[in-house]
Amino acid sequence: MLIDEIKKANLMAMKEHDSLARAIYGVIMNKVLLNSIDLKEKGKEQTDADVIAILQKTVKELSEERENYIKAGNMVEAENILKQKAIVEKYLPKMMSEDEIRAEINKLEDKSIGAVMKHFSANFKGKVDMSLVNKIARG
């Protein structure tokens, strides 16, 4: 599972005394643990798709945090956030390009917004930016 890879990377970061990587791995593992507890209460098991969703949300949060550091003029922290973001992104699957999204939409019989969004949500969750799908489907 993906979380096992992250735990191994966390151990390596610990051995290498990489505090920047350790900090972001700690955040990720904490979020994954909390999500796992939530899912178990509902009688569900955590999947890699759940972990990917957490990673994507973390990347978004890091981007927002970096923008705030830039606005505040703290370029050192902005650089650190960028490094942490790169660490998280290496665990994410390759996202579909605009051309791949268009090609997939063209394969569909029903090209209505609802049908397109439902198709991508069901088949490409975690591998596609749904706001980009929406934009392309409307375009």
Residues 20-30 as b or e (16 or more Cβ within 10 Å = b): ebbebbebbee
Average pLDDT, integer, range 79-94: 95
What's the CA gap between 28 and 13, in Å, rounded?
A: 14
Average pLDDT, the chain: 93
What are the tens digits of pLDDT across the range 22-70?
999 999 999 999 999 999 999 999 998 899 989 999 999 999 999 999 9
Rounded to whole angstroms, the Cα distance separating 37 from 43 reads 10
